[in-house]
Chains A and B, each alone.
Chain A
């Protein structure tokens, strides 16, 4: 079965600093999804990457997909307290599969 490993497990940064979260798959990636979760709440969809080399940005968050490395990265520029939360990556279990496997998450804290 597919496994997604996220690194780091937790991260504490000072407001205004840049940071990167990585998600590495044990198998070929068929679509990669990034979600954010605040404590006690549900998962909010951030971005979806489907093709190797694809890069998407939304406000100060950029996600990239490296198909050859079976890896995705999530980069936050000039972090703000509102970026704090748990970031999870999810990937399809196979080509055309509806099922998603998730990493264990990266907990981000942003110190004002």
Chain B
């Protein structure tokens, strides 16, 4: 069972570079979300999607873009990386509002 798969696991970028964090789930879940986890801040919601073609902003959306062209994939794009975006990023999915979220293993991103 693959569950939620995130790639890459580690990435180092220079300030101003762009990149896409990939997230895929094979559970046919409608709801997907991206979080960042920082020391002392806990998990904060960046963007979420309730289905293909539908996305919305979470608590900390600035500097990030998302799209949801298929049910399976929910990529997170950093258009111009900044050191403040150094963090661990988690993708999650869930079947419905009364079901638990399933998390990927995370992407550790460092911006120099």
CB nearest to A103 among chain B residues: B42
A73 to B94 Cα, complex, angstroms: 23
Is the beta-carbon distance between B98 and A45 smaller than 8 angstroms? no
- 9 tightest Cβ-Cβ pairs between the two chains A and B: A104-B42, A102-B43, A43-B103, A42-B105, A42-B103, A98-B31, A45-B100, A96-B97, A98-B97
Q: Chain B residues in contact with chain A, CB under 8 A?
A: 31, 33, 35, 40-43, 45, 48, 50, 58-59, 90, 92, 94, 96-106
Knowing A99-B45, A99-B48, A104-B41, the reply to whether A45 touches B101 (Cβ < 8 A) is: yes
Q: What are the residues of chain A within 8 A of B58 when measuring CB–CB?
A: 99
Q: Of residues 30 to 68 in A, which have CB atoms within 8 Å of B's CB atoms? A: 31, 33, 35, 41-45, 48, 50
CA distance A43 to B90 in the complex (A): 9
A56 to chain B, nearest CB (A): 12
Do A45 and B97 have beta carbons less than 8 Å apart? no
Interface size class of A (residues with CB under 8 A): 20 to 34
- Contact across chains for A90 and B101 when beta carbons are under 8 A apart: yes
**B40 cross-chain contacts in A, Cβ below 8 A:** 104
Residues of A within 8 A of B99 (CB): 48
**Distance A81 CA – B28 CA, assembled complex (angstroms):** 35
**Cα–Cα, bound, A3→B25 (Å):** 28
